[in-house]
A and B are shown apart, each in its own frame.
Chain A
Amino acid sequence: MNLLTAILQQVEEYPDAVALQDDTHELSYQSLALKIGAVCLAIRKAGVTPESRIALAMDRGIDATCALLGILAAGCCYVPLDINSPEQRQQFIVEDAQAAGIIGTGQCPSRWSNCNWIDFNTLTEHDCQFPDTGSTPLAAILYTSGSTGQPKGVALSHRAILAFTQWATHLLALNSKDRIASLAPLYFDLSTFDIFSSLAAGASIDFVPKQLAMAPSRLSAWLAERNITGFYTVPSVLGFMALKGNLAETPLPALRVLLFAGEVFQTEQLKRLVEFLPQTRFYNFYGPTETNVCLYWPVDAERLVDLKPIPIGKPASQNQVKMNPDNGELLVKGPTVMNGYWNEGRLHPATDDDGWYATGDQVSINNHGEYCYHGRLDRMMKCSGYRVEPVEIERAIQNLDGVQMCAVIGIHDETAGQRPAAVIVANTECSIQNLRKTLATLLPAYMIPSRWKTVPALPLMANGKIDYSALDNLFA
């Protein structure tokens, strides 16, 4: 059994049901299977062998989902790229993954002229048999910010993704009547729920127009018009909806479940949303990309108290969790844990000898026996749901002309959780505006520091290391 098995069963049983839709198109399960066949055939024709990595250079949506499933059907592993991120970063990922091909739309960009380029737009539907590859091979490598100063690839097997998506399908009793709204980019692990939990249950996926994230009342109206029954997104999108989503005028009676993950949901905002949507069940999902969802808390409205953070709950997806008594670090072991980090063409396991993965997150256990999140043990920060390693930003800034030294910290932001802020030691002629411009060609927008300070020297501790806590005061 692999990630496609249950989806292909739905194709057999309900070929005419809608699998994927957006505001202008819809695709039945039958048509989806034919598109998957076309992609699979193109990959085979390109001479790519099973278990190779294939980069996916397409924006989220119907076509990208077909391409992604086609990659799996060919027995390969998908590596989604953020096509809006700087070219250099995309190039790093393609090379690090040692991708045997790239699927995109239109002409091959010149930077990839030496690669095996598959233009999705030229593919026609094709009936194809897909051998079941079993659940052991890698299905996806999701690149995330790395503490070594470069993005690092989290390698997930079919088994790991299935363990989460099957658990979620079961927990939420997803079925063919469900319509799941999808806003998550494919390089975010949230998208594994949208695609695999929904399609395995015979539900239909409805792609949310991207611009609605900036127009919360239109997002609510869209959810209402499209009769959306489930939506898994980040708290910042839901928080904006709670604040300005016109929910008093827009009841969402069809919405059965709202799931959120990726950052801390401010309790006051969640409470407001729960009051607007009394018929909806809410779930707080927790887990880094490395473990996917390993803890969850079904939101208990009666326990929402202003200023008191909500718990991350109890084990999910058949995982075991424990707390290191010395430093409060959360450790996870179980079926959803990644196979390891993918680096320079091979897998590097990151669990201890007994299979425990150390998350770097500090937790405690409350008197309900639920885990509660308290922050990071290292310097990693969370910015609008994206995890960001300050080292990656520091390394990029330090290489810019005119910069002598740089330190990056996360400053508290009432909506984004944290935002990166940079403190630099620079030559007098160095303009921060120019640094920002150059940096925008190297790092994605959410990693560009929103605040900057130039100082004559970085504050140091007695042992000569940078005193990061002293930097906080510079932005107070």
Chain B
Amino acid sequence: MEIRTPLRQFVLTELIYCDDINVFDDDEDLLEAGLDSMGIMRLIMFAEREFKVTLPDTEVEPDSVRSINALIGWIEEHRK
């Protein structure tokens, strides 16, 4: 299952409003773009439910969710 598209869709439209999700750079800093602790919590609940992963508590850190690419790397690591 490809996770980039649904993940981008959720993060960019539900957590940080983005006019045109096609131009958002996957390395852009999400925390600077407005992702806050509540957003991180929603994001984790979404990822665990949609991608059937368990993200370890000790890895829930600002750096794990700093960009779309960081997020994908983090989630993929736990889908193996």
Contact = CB atoms under 8 A, between A and B. Distances in A.
A and B are partners in one complex rather than unrelated chains: yes
Interface stretch (A153-161, A395-403, A446-454): A446-454
B67 to A, nearest CB: 15
Interface residues of B, number: 21
Contacts of A216: 57, 60
A213 B19 contact: no
Contacts of A448: 34
B18 A384 contact: no
Given A239-B41, A249-B57, A450-B16, 16 more contacts: A211-B62, A214-B61, A217-B57, A217-B58, A217-B60, A236-B37, A236-B41, A237-B37, A243-B41, A244-B41, A244-B57, A413-B42, A414-B42, A415-B38, A416-B38, A449-B17
A463 interface: no
A216 B16 CA distance: 21
Interface in B24-64: 34, 36-38, 40-42, 44-45, 55, 57-58, 60-62
A433 B41 contact: no
Contacts, number: 63
B60 A445 contact: no
A386 to B, nearest CB: 11
A300 to B, nearest CB: 26
B15 interface: yes
A249 B55 CA distance: 15
A293 B39 CA distance: 28
Given A214-B62, A245-B57, A240 B41 contact: yes
Interface of A: 211, 213-218, 236-237, 239-240, 243-246, 249, 384, 413-416, 431-433, 436, 445, 448-452
28 contacts: A214-B61, A215-B60, A215-B61, A216-B57, A216-B60, A217-B57, A236-B38, A237-B37, A243-B45, A244-B44, A244-B55, A244-B57, A246-B57, A384-B36, A413-B42, A414-B42, A415-B38, A415-B41, A415-B42, A416-B38, A433-B18, A433-B19, A436-B17, A445-B34, A448-B34, A449-B17, A450-B14, A450-B15
A432 B20 CA distance: 10
Most buried by B among A211, A214, A218: A214
Contacts of A436: 17
A246 B19 contact: no
Contacts of A415: 38, 41-42, 45
Contacts of B15: 450
Contacts of A451: 17
B45 to A, nearest CB: 7
A208 to B, nearest CB: 13
Most buried by A among B37, B38, B61: B38
Interface of B: 14-19, 34, 36-38, 40-42, 44-45, 55, 57-58, 60-62
Given A244-B44, A431-B19, A384 B38 contact: yes
Contacts of B14: 450
A243 B14 CA distance: 20
A244 B59 CA distance: 9
A450 B17 contact: yes
Nearest to B57: A246
Contacts of A213: 37
A416 B34 CA distance: 14
Nearest to B55: A244
Contacts of B36: 214, 384, 445
Contact of A244 (B17, B60, B62): B60
A246 B55 CA distance: 11
A449 B34 CA distance: 11
Contacts of B38: 236, 384, 413, 415-416
Nearest to A421: B17
Contacts of B37: 213-214, 236-237, 240
Contact of B58 (A214, A246, A414): A246
A413 B16 CA distance: 14
Nearest to B40: A214
A408 to B, nearest CB: 14
A243 B44 contact: yes
Contacts of B41: 236, 239-240, 243-244, 415
A215 B59 CA distance: 8
A246 B57 CA distance: 5
Contacts of A239: 41
A291 B71 CA distance: 43
A216 B42 CA distance: 14
A216 B5 CA distance: 27
A469 B14 CA distance: 21
A445 to B, nearest CB: 7
A213 B60 CA distance: 11
Contacts of A450: 14-17
A446 to B, nearest CB: 8
A433 B55 CA distance: 32
